[in-house]
Amino acid sequence: MTEEVCSALLDVPSGVILDATVGGGGHTLALLELRDDWKVVGIDRDQIAIEAAGKKTSGYEGRCILRQSEFVDFPKVLKELAINELSGFVFDLGVSSVHFDVADRGFSYTKEGPLDMRMDQQQSLTAHEVINEYPEPELNRIIKMYGDERFSRRITTAIANQRPITNTLDLAEIIKSAIPAPARRSGGHPAKRTFQAVRIEVNSELKQLSGTLMEAVKWLAPKGRGVVLSYHSGEDRIVKKIFREAEDGGCICPSRLPCVCGAISLAKAVNKKVINPSSEEVTNNHRSSSALFRAIERLHPDESGTES
């Protein structure tokens, strides 16, 4: 949804845009091309992604800064660069083509590779440990909660019965065999949701998101905007919750009564309802089919105030 990202950020003030999940650099490049009064700081926990983004943005060295870092540490990166506020930010959650297209990374359920799924190759936890060593109740919880998988218990039992499992294609086939045949005929690859759930667990994605997004909103300059692309309901629930808290300032008063708790609104939603990719984009890029787009704008101090 590069077009939607650029449209949402088009009129923000001059300054610095943070691409907190730079991936292969697609959004970073589009933003650099959109306006020449922006600098873009791109961060990613994956060094291979940083290298790929560096190649894609090689003509913009003066306006593009790339750093390997988890997005939860973005304030540290910005402070090291003597940056005090942001004109905009982009969080494109999930996995980029840099991860899917390299079989050895273990993210793909259609290519044979080790059970890895680490975005940061230096961390110790891998998908192999999650699949082969997690107790069945914990594995079931992860698959059900992070994958929105209604057959989580059947999948968990099948995995436990086939341990040890060592590669992605074997895991994908075990998952497929555990799902009833009628349910396999729609909704994409049968292993998609379980692989998503395990990847989220390996990389602590939801925990990091919940603790980072409000901080990113606070870094925005007045009239600055933030954009988040999430790819499943668990991510979107967190984004929606944080954006709502930024809008109402954490007000605890009954919705039909004036606010008396002193809550201060920081921002306003750009789109009240989530935006999905166009059918044309889904046709051209099937990986975008589950994307959920939300954007928020930091209020000017004159607009901020107690909610009513």
Write the CATH number for 66. 3.40.50.150
| Percent of the chain residues topping a pLDDT of 70 | 97
Residue 75 domain flag: yes
Tell me, yes or no, whether 106 and 198 share the same domain: yes
Tell me, yes or no, whether 74 and 44 share the same domain: yes
pLDDT band at residue 81 using 50, 70 and 90 as cut-offs: very high
Rounded CA separation 171/193 (Å): 12
Checking if the pLDDT of 99 tops 90, the result is no
Residue 87 domain flag: yes
CB 43 within 8 A of CB 66: yes
| Percent of the chain residues topping a pLDDT of 90 | 69
Checking if the pLDDT of 27 tops 80, the result is yes
Tell me, yes or no, whether 11 and 86 share the same domain: yes
Q: How many CB atoms lie within 10 A of CB 95?
A: 23
**DSSP labels, 74-127:** HHHHHHHTT---EEEEEEE-S--HHHHT-GGGS--SSS--BS---SSTTSS--H
- Token pair 């943070």 is at which residue? 18
Residue 216 domain flag: no
Checking if the pLDDT of 88 tops 70, the result is yes
Mean pLDDT across 236-258? 87
Tell me, yes or no, whether 92 and 111 share the same domain: no
Tell me, yes or no, whether 139 and 55 share the same domain: no
- Token pair 């905009």 is at which residue? 88
Q: State residue 186's pLDDT score.
A: 82
- Tens digit of each residue's pLDDT (9 = 90 or more) over 1-15: 899 999 999 999 999
pLDDT band at residue 289 using 50, 70 and 90 as cut-offs: confident
32-36, 161-165, 303-307, range with the lowest pLDDT: 303-307
Of 172, 203, 234, the one marking the end of a domain is 203
The number of C-alpha atoms within 13 Å of 118 and in the hemisphere containing its C-beta is 13
Residue 208 domain flag: no
Residue 210 domain flag: no
Q: State residue 304's pLDDT score.
A: 59
pLDDT band at residue 307 using 50, 70 and 90 as cut-offs: very low
Residue 235 domain flag: yes
Tell me, yes or no, whether 109 and 155 share the same domain: yes
* Domain total in the chain: 2
Tell me, yes or no, whether 114 and 246 share the same domain: no
The number of C-alpha atoms within 13 Å of 82 and in the hemisphere containing its C-beta is 0
- 280: nearest Cα among 49, 43, 2, 39: 2
Query: Which residue segment(s) compose the domain that 261 sits in?
Result: 2-98+221-298
Query: CA angle, corner 299, sides to 90 and 220, nearest 5?
Result: 35
Rounded CA separation 114/105 (Å): 7
Q: How many residues does the chain have?
A: 308
Q: State residue 180's pLDDT score.
A: 94
Tell me, yes or no, whether 89 and 117 share the same domain: no
Mean pLDDT across 267-280? 90
Query: CA angle, corner 21, sides to 219 and 300, nearest 5?
Result: 20
Residue 214 domain flag: no
Tell me, yes or no, whether 170 and 242 share the same domain: no
Checking if the pLDDT of 308 tops 70, the result is no
CB 175 within 8 A of CB 191: yes
Cis peptide before 301 (omega within 30 of 0): no
pTM, rounded to two decimals? 0.87
Mean pLDDT across 30-40? 96
Residue 186 domain flag: yes
Tell me, yes or no, whether 118 and 90 share the same domain: no
- Tens digit of each residue's pLDDT (9 = 90 or more) over 149-179: 999 999 999 999 999 999 999 999 999 999 9
pLDDT band at residue 305 using 50, 70 and 90 as cut-offs: low
Which has more confidence, 304 or 246? 246
Tell me, yes or no, whether 6 and 92 share the same domain: yes
Looking at residue 244, its amino acid is R
Tell me, yes or no, whether 160 and 107 share the same domain: yes
Mean pLDDT across 270-296? 86
CATH number at residue 185: 1.10.150.170
Which has more confidence, 132 or 95? 132
Cβ neighbours of residue 124 under 8 Å, at least 6 residues apart? none
Of 171, 203, 235, the one marking the end of a domain is 203
What's the chain's average pLDDT? Answer: 91
Of 177, 203, 229, the one marking the end of a domain is 203
CB 87 within 8 A of CB 8: no
- Give the dihedral sign, CA 197/202/206/207: positive
Which residues, listed in sequence order, are joined to residue 226 by a DSSP beta bridge? 89, 296
